[in-house]
A and B are shown apart, each in its own frame.
Chain A
Amino acid sequence: MSHLTYDQSKTIANKTIGILAFITVFEVLFALLGKGYLVEGFHISGWITGGAMMVLSIVKAYLIVYEFMHMKYEVPGLVKTVLLPTLLLVWAIIAFLAEGKYWGTSRVNVKNPVSQVESVE
């Protein structure tokens, strides 16, 4: 439970929504800048913009979970039981993206099952 007064928690909520809104606007502008929509002929590598977006999204997720959902004010045991399992996702993301890359490179070795069906008919 939070030990903050009403006014303190109100100030925190106002600050948090401000930061979230700022990050969102920044993300969109950065994505458009990187893809060359804002400045003619100017591009940023997708790895840099993509990486920045992911970091900023995690910051947004932190603010929503810790401030809006009050995770910051829960006891450590509760925080751990909710957040530790999500760490398993880190490996799931790495493994499945690597798998996706492998599917992509293996595509040339696969006969198109749709055209096989058509040739039978």
Chain B
Amino acid sequence: MASDTLAHDHHTDTHSGGSWKGGSEPFKASYGKLMMWYFLLSDAFTFSGFLIAYGALRFSMPTWPVPDFVFSTFPGGFHHLPLLFVTVMTFILLASSYTMVRAVQEGHRENKRGVVVWMMWTILGGAAFLSCQAWEWNTLMGKEHMTVTTNPFGTHTVSGKYLEGDGHDIKEGDTFVAGDSYLMHKHEGEWAPLKYTITDGPDKGKEGQQTFGPKAFGALFFFITGFHGFHVLSGVAFLLIICVNSATGLYARRRNGYEMVEKIGLYWHFVDLVWVFVFLFFYLL
């Protein structure tokens, strides 16, 4: 079978100079662009593995932190603004994707100034996104004490009435129903789970207290958004290098429509694409 195929190829080659002799581009794309596509394909599988793990673990837990409760802070001391900050982050990344498209278009018509200006906007967008992520992580770790192994975002499985307050959102006498979310706070460096009376179900009248949420949430959140953030960071680094190279006229001399800008553009859009799904899994569902 194998020798048949080889013989056949040889036959075609001698007569038509076919695709297997080298020198031609059957996909009408340069080797660099093609390899960028296949790198992105493999990267897509890595991210899919992470996100599928998130889905499987989430499905295996009786409760899961509610995203609009977890992600409801906004810079400037604002609280209870569900999803607003991550929406801003999404728009920053979308905008930087657009400026990248513009840079590639300017490259196609060999406009050096256009390429450099639009790439600088893209770098700015990437840096802004990373700053937002730094703020988000800092809030989660520094103020809300979420770590890779600790998840203070819990969900009530019964209804009840609090016997004490935490000095933040919960006051003594506040009531809650099953499915409500809460954030366990620290008091003087120690975890201080609040006590409450259960008001329904078989344990009615008994005393209960807040517990930690599913441990996997912190690990999945920091690893997946961290892996994505690392992609953004390396993207910004490569954008900077290619922006400087464009400005020095290196790519203009190549006369290939700024193909290097096109390749980093593919990568940058992919980072945006991954964020679409991180946004879906972590924040919307």
Contact = CB atoms under 8 A, between A and B. Distances in A.
B105 interface: yes
B199 interface: no
A41 interface: no
A85 B91 CA distance: 29
A99 B37 contact: no
Nearest to A1: B28
A21 B87 CA distance: 10
Contacts of A93: 48, 52, 55
Please report whether the interface of chain A is mostly helix, strand, loop or mixed according to DSSP: helix
B195 interface: no
A24 B94 CA distance: 10
Interface in A87-112: 89, 92-93, 96-97, 99-104, 107
How big is chain B's contact interface, by range? 35 or more
Contact of B29 (A13, A53, A78, A96): A78
Given A64-B276, A74-B29, A75-B28, A96 B52 contact: yes
Per DSSP, are chain B's interface residues mostly helix, strand or loop, or mixed?
helix
B82 interface: yes
Contact of B56 (A2, A21, A54, A97): A97
Given A92-B48, A97-B56, A74 B28 contact: yes
Given A6-B109, A103-B56, A77 B26 contact: yes
Given A21-B91, A92-B48, A107 B60 contact: yes
B280 A78 contact: no
A98 B177 CA distance: 29
A100 B285 contact: no
Chain A residues touching B, range: 35 or more
B55 A104 contact: no
A2 B283 CA distance: 36
A85 B42 CA distance: 10
Nearest to A57: B280
A60 B93 CA distance: 13
B244 interface: no
B16 to A, nearest CB: 17
A61 interface: yes
B266 interface: yes
B181 to A, nearest CB: 11
A77 B37 CA distance: 13
A99 B37 CA distance: 31
Nearest to B90: A24
A61 B87 CA distance: 17
Contact of A97 (B34, B44, B55, B94): B55
26 contacts: A1-B28, A9-B105, A9-B108, A10-B102, A20-B94, A21-B91, A28-B284, A31-B83, A32-B83, A35-B82, A37-B68, A57-B277, A61-B273, A61-B277, A64-B269, A64-B276, A68-B100, A74-B27, A75-B28, A81-B27, A81-B37, A86-B41, A89-B45, A99-B56, A104-B61, A107-B62
Given A13-B105, A27-B284, 10 more contacts: A24-B94, A28-B83, A28-B87, A35-B68, A68-B97, A69-B265, A69-B269, A78-B27, A97-B52, A104-B62
Interface of B: 26-29, 34, 37-38, 40-41, 44-45, 48, 52-53, 55-62, 68, 82-83, 87, 90-91, 94-95, 97-98, 100-102, 105, 108-109, 265-266, 269-270, 272-273, 276-277, 279-280, 283-285
